[in-house]
Amino acid sequence: MAVIRPFNAVRPTRDKVSLIASRSYQSYTPAEREARLDHNPYSFLHIVNPGYKYQKVINGEERFELVRNRYQEFKEDGIFIKDKVPSLYIYKIIDRDFQEFTGIIGASSAEDYQNNIIKKHEDTIEYRETLFKDYLKTVGFNAEPVLLTYEENETISSIMKKVMASRAEYEFTTTYRDTHYLWPITGTQEIDTIVKEFEQMPELYIADGHHRSASSVLLNHDMSSSKDSNINESYKYFMSYYISEENLKIHQFNRLVRDLNGLSKEEFLIKLDMVFRIENRGTQQYRPSKKHHFSMYLDGHFYSLYLRKRYRNFNNPLEALDTQILYDILLNPILGIEDVRNDKRLSYIHGKNDLVDVKYAVDAKEFEVGFGMLPITMEELKSIADNNLTMPPKSTYIEPKLRSGICIYEF
């Protein structure tokens, strides 16, 4: 039984939402961040980067305290207002490529995560879990929802269509050329129906936000152990964006490696020939069309790599995953990469731009070789989660990517 719970969101006033909404802090170049912080006093970046006011980098607990201060200042100035009625929120994005994503923002249960109703497919790092838990505990709010996915549900879809037939509370286009819409669902009948439909779902899957959800569970554990009688139940939940599987877009992460591990080009190709059927495609960009087919860009040429049939005897869904195959067959034994999370010789670049970025990085001599593959499917993701397995790092780049500052969950 999956939980979705309405909550009283803290939201920007309609006239300022387009100025406040921001991408994740890391997605901006330093020049982009500086421009927004210099010229937009309402950007949510001022909250998450409070040291900018003093032209100083601030970390740790001191930063957390100042984030809380900046957030409270936005509330005191009437930039953020808390909804009086517990609501669910329909959030729609039409991106620059005219892809449309529509889902519901609501509160998820930490207990669902602990009981594996909310299923995971990635490992988390304990240090990052604890750091973000401490951050949430200090600032008292969460502005980045976890992305959860579920099987298409006609009843939920019909309610969403009905609500979206009315004027959106927010409708704005960003300089990134994405258009964003938000509709609060305040009717008790619609909310009750949506809640009951989710109660009939045996599981939900995390598409993006493994560390955010794990940190929220740690926070719930801390607060549940507290003897403070004033603690409310909001800590038992965390903000999520519920979106149907059909409405997600999964891209691959391509791999780039800085050197050939001491091998010459010819020695490297011979080793590859042991496990792949190789064909030099010249300067024509090669895109894989089947699972277990890979593209490679090396020394100005594209290659197709087809995994030889004798290596296709898989014992579980993880072994059959192309990102795992690339590590087991190539990155580790041939290129000597053991730690795919921390090895400085290995880098990742998402596949939204196909292999153009891979070619550019290799041609610029930043890397020696690059590899591409097909995106992981939703069925593969669910199979990994259902079998309590975890994918290698950077196996999926999943859209949509939501803006911060549009809906905020307070503890």
Residue 55 belongs to some domain of the structure:
yes
Q: Which position has the token pair 């990134």?
A: 176
Is the same domain home to 70 and 127?
yes
Q: What pLDDT score does 176 carry?
A: 86
Determine the pLDDT at residue 27: 86
Confidence band for 53, pLDDT divided at 50, 70 and 90: confident
Q: 246 and 349, same structural domain?
A: no
Contact predicate 257/370, CB 8 Å: yes
Asked if 128 and 265 sit in the same domain, the reply is no
Q: Total domain count for the chain?
A: 2
| Res 51 pLDDT > 70 | yes
Token pair of 289, please?
């069309």
Range 19-33 average pLDDT: 91
- pLDDT tier, 280 (very low <50, low <70, confident <90, very high otherwise): very high
Segment holding 303, helix H or strand E: strand 301-307
CB atoms within 10 A of CB 114: 12
Assess whether pLDDT exceeds 80 at residue 391.
yes
pLDDT at 47 over 80: yes
Whether residue 354 is contained in a domain is answered as yes
**What are the CA-CA distances from residue 1 to residues 115, 154, 181, 195, 210 (Å)?**
10, 18, 29, 10, 20
Same structural domain, 45 and 130:
yes
- Cα 280 to chain centroid, rounded: 35
What are the pLDDT digits (tens) for 55-68? 888 999 999 999 99
* Residue 232 in tokens: 């409310």
Q: What number is the average pLDDT over the span 157-177?
A: 96
In a domain, 379, yes or no: no
Sole residue written with tokens 């019909």: 158
Quickly state the pLDDT bin for 225 (edges 50, 70, 90).
confident
β-bridge pairing 369-372 and 88-94:
unpaired
The model's confidence at residue 233, banded by pLDDT at 50, 70 and 90, is: confident
Based on the domain organization, do 56 and 119 belong to the same domain?
yes
Helix 126-139 with 210-224: angle, nearest 10 deg: 60
Q: What is the mean pLDDT of residues 289-301?
A: 97
DSSP label at residue 282? E
Average model confidence (pLDDT) across the chain: 95
For 240, the token pair is 């999520």
- pLDDT at position 230, please? 64
Q: Is it the case that residue 231 has pLDDT exceeding 90?
A: no
> Does 124 lie in the same domain as 86?
yes
Block residue for tokens 């599981």: 203
What CATH number is attached to the domain comprising 281?
Answer: 3.30.1760
pLDDT value at residue 24:
87
Residues 172, 71 within the same domain? yes
Inform me whether the pLDDT recorded for 91 exceeds 70: yes
Same domain? 43 vs 183: yes
**In the predicted structure, residue 405 carries a pLDDT above the cut 80:** yes
pLDDT over 70 percentage in the chain:
99
Question: Is 2 part of a structural domain of the chain?
Answer: no
Q: Which two tokens stand for residue 394?
A: 């950077």
Which single residue is written with the structure tokens 């920007």?
Answer: 12
Task: Look at residue 317 and tell me whether its pLDDT is greater than 80.
Answer: yes
- How many whole angstroms separate alpha carbon 42 and alpha carbon 17? 9
Look at residue 385 and tell me if it is in a domain.
Answer: no
- The reply to whether omega before 333 is within 30° of 0 (cis) is no
Name the residue range of residue 311's domain: 253-374
Domain shared by 243 and 268, yes or no: no
- At residue 280's C-alpha, the angle toward residues 278 and 282, to 5°, is 160
Q: Is the pLDDT of residue 82 over 90?
A: yes
Q: Are 22 and 132 in contact (CB under 8 A)?
A: no
**Full DSSP string of 11-67:** EE-TTTHHHH-B--GGGS-HHHHHHHHHH-TT-THHHH-GGGGGT----HHHHHHHH
Chain center to CA of 285: 28
**pLDDT per residue as tens digits for the range 169-206:** 999 999 889 999 999 999 999 999 999 999 999 999 99
**pLDDT at res. 348:** 96
55 shares a domain with 176: yes
Percent of all residues in the chain with a pLDDT value above 90, rounded to a whole number: 91
Distance between CA atoms of residues 305 and 175, nearest Å: 39
Is residue 27 in a domain?
A: yes
Query: Residue 126 has what pLDDT?
Result: 92
Residue 229's pLDDT band (cuts 50, 70, 90): low
